[in-house]
Amino acid sequence: MPSYAWPPDRTFWTGTFPDHTTTRTTPYLFKGIIPATAAGPEYVLAGFEAIRRAHTAGAGIKAHARVYVGEDRRDDLLPTVLTATPWDTDGDDTFVPWMQDLLGTDRFSLVINNLETVSPGLAAGLGAFLESLIDGWGLPLGGAEQVAFAGNYAGTAFGIHEGYEDAFLIHLGPNAKNFYCWPAEQYEKLTGDKKPTYGDYQALLDEGEHFLLEPGDALFLPRRVFHVGTQKTFSVSVAMPLYTYPYAQILQDRIFPEVLASLAGQGPDDPLNEPSEMANAASDPGAVAERLAGVGRELLLVAADRVPEAARKHAAQRWATLRSNGGWELTEADLSRQEAATAFDPEQVMPGAEISLITPYQVIVDGERVLLRGFETGIDSATLDENTVSALNAGTSITLPDTEELLTAVRALGATGGLHLHARSADTEDTAS
């Protein structure tokens, strides 16, 4: 079995990875690439327990769990799972019978979206993998997400289905999983269309490319590949889709609305707010349509001239936001961020205290803006010198000096949920011997 550096180095992404995946177009199983210290089933179960804790507290969070029995989504059973007395958290040996008892079935599936927002351990561990991917391959403009699949299900609850983004499926164990893939053309030839296949699909499995996933393996799943997982015993996998949103979607959702809004007239004296003419009631609306079309063409020409600057601003903001959030997609209802921000005591920010960044987040200085964990801090970038930022981003702990501007900046950074703070020890007076 090949041995890979952890995290994967740049030569892996520029050489090994494209070579094994036919320039990133075919599935390939990288055996043993994820060390157990970076990611394990216990991280996923801890994230699920965090979701249960948030549910009990009535906290609105982005991460959510879904329960399946076979291929049936059982939202009616979810409240029971979220409110039951916790299982013995020593491991999956107690989690599996706990779920079986609550669901009244031997086989089940638990799916968790945005796991990175409830599992700091996985955000950091798989964040190292994502950081190396960004450095060696590129930055997905929508960021990445973690989706956990835990259970002893006979087959993925979604059936044989198509993936719409490039993704990695990282298997954490403790037991193995069978995985099958089909190129879109082959799947369509076998089934007659591109709809998911449910139920008994054994005949299709015989035609698919088979992979045996074991703990520490990472399967690359290119976009538009059909796939399904099957297993007999309990295991946990985490899918990491890379959201490479189409440029047209980014323009339509974010840039065009901003540009078009900038064309709105500024008050009654603005020529753009000139009232429309009274329409001749005896004629058809053709003249009105012609006038609207003419004004529309003029405005769109002006808008086209404004698109480049709006695109530059949006790209810079998106870039800084994602890099400061470790490459994970930004969600406001991030439980881990909320809890880290609450744990940060600004009153303990004083000379002699130590600070360090929470992995995998970064301080990004973008012109006059300073971002951490995806959020602007309101800090004057001039108060953070380049050496301080570089040291923090390198994982170095910094002892705070007696500089009020820097202490104020640290308090603002801490409010993002991106800093660890180690309070200064109580002063002791020297005593004569």
Q: Are 196 and 151 in contact (CB under 8 A)?
A: no
Could you give the CA distance from residue 43 to residue 89 in angstroms, rounded to a whole number? 11
Please give the pLDDT value at position 427.
Answer: 54
**In tens digits, what is the pLDDT along the chain, a chain of 433 residues?**
778 999 999 999 999 999 999 999 999 999 999 999 999 999 999 999 999 999 999 999 999 999 999 999 999 999 999 999 999 866 668 999 999 999 999 999 999 999 999 999 999 999 999 999 999 999 999 999 999 999 999 999 999 999 999 999 999 999 999 999 999 999 999 999 999 999 999 999 999 999 999 999 999 999 999 999 999 999 999 999 999 999 999 999 999 999 998 887 777 778 778 888 888 888 889 889 988 899 899 999 999 999 999 999 999 999 999 999 999 999 989 999 999 999 999 999 999 999 999 999 999 999 889 999 999 999 999 899 999 999 999 999 999 999 999 999 999 999 999 999 998 765 533 433 3
Q: Is the dihedral of CA 382, 383, 384, 388 positive or negative?
A: positive
Q: What is the pTM of this model?
A: 0.92
Q: Which of 320, 329, 308, 313 is nearest to 362 (CA)?
A: 320
- pLDDT at res. 428: 37
Residue 332's pLDDT is: 86
Q: Is the C-alpha dihedral spanning 332, 335, 336, 342 positive or negative?
A: positive
> What pLDDT shows up at residue 431?
35
DSSP code string of 159-224: -BEE--S-EEEEEEEES-EEEEEEEHHHHHHHHSSSS-B-S--HHHHTTSEEEEE-TT-EEEE-TT
Give the C-alpha separation, 160 to 178, whole Å: 13
